[in-house]
């Protein structure tokens, strides 16, 4: 097994899992409560667009990953490369694809902007925490199995 390739894949996978569990839904509810009906519709449209990008990037990543697996000799690191390809493709599509609008452009009072900023800073923080937790988890696993 290629330790470097698989360690990257495991860290990416674990950090994604940790991100799901660390999300604070109360921050999103607090933000939603500051929006009027029109802003709520815009927010739901943005959520739908972002989910489409997320899943579209994931599907494209799976397709590219499968092409990689089918076109290369099967090795111990094939699954690890597949995971890396899927998650990198998803991220590139999500981050790189032009968005139709941003919620910040539709906020019109300081309370809304403050609630949105709380979400933004929290998400940045949990991304970093999830990445650190993934590295620590991988290190513990690797040490336990004497990788």
- What are the tens digits of pLDDT across the range 106-127? 999 999 999 999 999 999 999 8
Mean pLDDT taken over the chain = 90
Answer whether 0.75 is exceeded by the pTM: yes
Which residue, 13, 5, 2, is CA-closest to 135?
13
Tokens standing for residue 102: 């941003």
Within the chain, what is the greatest distance between any pair of CA atoms?
57
For the cut 90, the answer to whether the pLDDT of residue 73 exceeds it is no
Radius of gyration of the chain from its Cα atoms, rounded to whole angstroms: 19
CA distance 21 to 98: 28
For the cut 70, the answer to whether the pLDDT of residue 45 exceeds it is yes
* 145 phi/psi in degrees, rounded to 5: -100, 5
């Amino acid at each position: 097994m290629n330790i470097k390739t698989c360690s990257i894949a495991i860290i990416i996978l674990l950090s994604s899992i940790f991100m799901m569990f660390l999300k604070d839904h109360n921050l999103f509810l607090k933000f939603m409560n500051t929006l009027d009906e029109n802003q709520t519709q815009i927010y739901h449209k943005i959520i739908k667009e972002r989910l489409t990008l997320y899943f579209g990037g994931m599907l494209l990543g799976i397709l590219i990953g499968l092409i990689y697996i089918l076109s290369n000799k099967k090795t111990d690191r094939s699954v690890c490369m597949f995971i890396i390809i899927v998650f990198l493709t998803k991220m590139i599509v999500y981050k790189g694809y032009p968005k139709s609008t941003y919620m910040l452009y539709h906020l019109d009072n300081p309370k809304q902007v403050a609630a949105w900023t709380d979400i933004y800073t929290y998400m940045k923080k949990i991304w970093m925490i999830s990445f650190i937790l993934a590295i620590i988890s991988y290190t513990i696993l690797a040490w336990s199995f004497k990788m």
